[in-house]
A and B are shown apart, each in its own frame.
Chain A
Amino acid sequence: MSTLLEVHDLNVEIPVPHGNLHAVRGVSLRVDAGEAIGIVGESGSGKSITLRALLGLLPQPAKVTGGSILLDGVDVTGLPDRRRQKVLTQAMSMVFQDSLTALNPVMRVGEQIAEVPRRRLGMSRSQAHARAVELMNQVGIPDPERRYRAYPHELSGGMRQRICIAIALSTEPRLILADEPTTALDVTIQAQVLDVIDRLRREQQLGLVLVSHDLAVVSQTCSQVYVMYAGRVVEAGPVRALLERSRHPYTYALLRSVPDPDTVVRRLLTIPGQPPDLTATPDGCSFAPRCPFVAESCHHQDPPLVLLADGDGQRAACLRSDTALHWPEWSDRAILEQLDAEQAAAAALLTEQGNAEVRS
């Protein structure tokens, strides 16, 4: 399979009043034609910014400060802005999270699908109309001729997201970037929409980058997963490998925090602590303050993303990944201790506040 898109060492910075927010720090990705990759991470980990940087759609003060983007093996980073934008938008298109805001509220959905075929691909009015109806059929919209004339608010969430997918397909892209496409939908519709995306990917050999905070969604659709934390890829590799033997404590903790539906859950295992402040660049691993398996060296050395010797293509950025075998026995105790400490601190704070109120 040919490599469609390669990203090397992408850096995005956002100037803020008190410094520089380093939102994406050295992210590298690769997508082949017909391949689906997933990017997982919590809010603020830089996954959406990464996608928007690929299309040149960063919000205003944000800037790409380093890295290169290769399309079909050709480096497009050096091209003039306008030219690069054109090359990139011709090759890929994006599906957004909230289908209600992603559609123009005052334009009929059919016209929105037909717009690019008509304006950019040079079709006649009737050809563009036919193309739009065909696309609506492809994404599973019943009675497309009638829905062509609907406004976005007249359709349900699932239908709207299908329209968004149809619009994304209307540019005849080779790569689809999907930014949490199913997060705003309920679970049954989620599955339907994912099916549509997956079917189109297989039928048309599209590349797919699926961003989500839902590991289940990603593991269903993608073959490769990138786990992002604080603007970096901390672990990457084939889905199976990552799910079965994660070698980064963050991935491990993410997986642990998914409750098992078959056992009685006494306590949800969350990840204690907060994601780090991205304006400061601390020495050492950015997950170290929250890591249950932290060692002294973690605070001083920022681990690079390295290929693991025993995994098939699995990579992790952790100094302690060789101790992963012991994590299950360590983790419950360590995490619970951390959570207990956190709760105790919160309780103490509350009591103190209560006392202060009583006193005042």
Chain B
Amino acid sequence: MTAAVFPGRTLTAAAPRKRKRKRNIPLIAGLTLFGLIVLAAVCAPLLTHWDPIQQDLLHARLAPGAPDHLLGTDELGRDIFSRLLYGARIDLRVGVLAVVSPFIIGTTLGLIAGWFGGWLDTVIMRVVDVVVAFPFLVLVLALVFALGAGTGSIYVAITVVGWVAYCRIVRGEVLVAKEQEYALAARSSGLPTWRILFRHLLPNVVLQAIVYSMSDIVLTILAIVTLGYLGLGVPPPTPDWGSMIEDGQQFLLTQWYLATLPGLAVVLTGLALALVADGLVEHFGRR
């Protein structure tokens, strides 16, 4: 009878159906762009034959489009294109690595604070408050200054300051999630706490932290660039976008491209990661 009314359909529940995937344009665009940037950084020696630190004072400050120098040369005659590519290697590596440890530390502490509450929560969140009370860059600058310039101190400084954002995000999400019935169900089934935390809660609360980490990479690259600009970053002559902007700014009126091109590289990277973040929200939001 039923079959006659609804041919081809049974009244049992629908089997897991294949989701019709709409193209997630931000994610695809963001990943493509970011992939291209990473690829360019990795393949730097194949894309240019110029050594990024080799000076050539006779051919200094050539405009973009000069023969053999695609994007021109800087005030010491170093090839800008090559410096951008090799600079990406440093900046991307530091940017990504400097986000990993704050992410792990902040997420773990946020889970703990949100789940256990009580004095643990109070202690962790007061420490967070103290760190948040200082502006991000000021604290990073002070720490790098105290520890001495270099990538090592950049990692440490950004970890010390950066974990608080993840901690806050994850703690908030845990506070909501732990009153959800699936968390209660997990507790009522007597599973060990660490398993409930990492197997049940973490996958449900980590999305916001991942999305934030995308913009955090941009923020970190900006911080590195700023540090480089202030002479506290990657020590010269290693190419990095920050020191390139710093070197170029004195020629802003005559050779604007010296500072603008590395700035553009920062913007492009930021755009790519922002698109990825948007795309991730859309991707997981749809589930």
* Chain A positions near chain B (C-beta within 8 angstroms): 52, 55, 57, 59-60, 85-86, 89-90, 92-94, 96-98, 101-107, 115-116, 119-120, 142-143, 146-147, 149-151, 153-156, 158-159, 164, 167, 170-171
Contacts and interface: CB of A to CB of B under 8 A. Distances in A.
B180 A154 contact: no
13 contacts: A93-B188, A97-B181, A102-B184, A103-B182, A103-B185, A107-B199, A115-B199, A119-B195, A120-B190, A146-B15, A154-B14, A155-B14, A167-B189
A199 to B, nearest CB: 18
Given A89-B188, A94-B188, A146-B15, 15 more contacts: A55-B187, A57-B188, A92-B188, A98-B181, A101-B181, A104-B203, A104-B204, A106-B204, A106-B287, A119-B192, A150-B16, A154-B14, A156-B13, A156-B14, A170-B189
B189 A171 contact: yes
A106 B191 contact: no
Nearest to A153: B287
A59 B189 contact: no
Contacts of A55: 187-188
Contacts of B49: none
B200 interface: yes
A105 B287 contact: yes
The 10 closest A-B pairs by CB, nearest first: A89-B190, A156-B13, A102-B181, A150-B16, A159-B13, A154-B16, A96-B181, A106-B203, A101-B181, A104-B182
Interface string B166-188: 00000000000001111011111
B195 A57 contact: no
Given A59-B179, A104-B182, A104-B204, A86 B190 contact: yes
B94 to A, nearest CB: 32
B9 interface: no
Interface residues of B, number: 26
Contacts of A142: 12
Contacts of A115: 189, 191, 199
A149 B15 CA distance: 10
B195 A158 contact: no
B130 to A, nearest CB: 25
Contacts of B190: 85-86, 89-90, 116, 120, 171
B15 A105 contact: no
A5 B7 CA distance: 50
Contacts of A164: 185
B189 A96 contact: no
B17 interface: yes
B148 interface: no
Nearest to B187: A57
Nearest to B12: A142
A121 B203 CA distance: 24
A151 B287 contact: yes
B45 interface: no
B17 A154 contact: yes
Interface in B1-53: 12-17
B117 interface: yes
Q: In the complex, which of the residues B14, B185, B188, B200 has the most CB atoms of chain A within 10 Å of its own CB atom?
A: B188
B42 to A, nearest CB: 33
B189 A93 contact: yes
B184 A104 contact: no
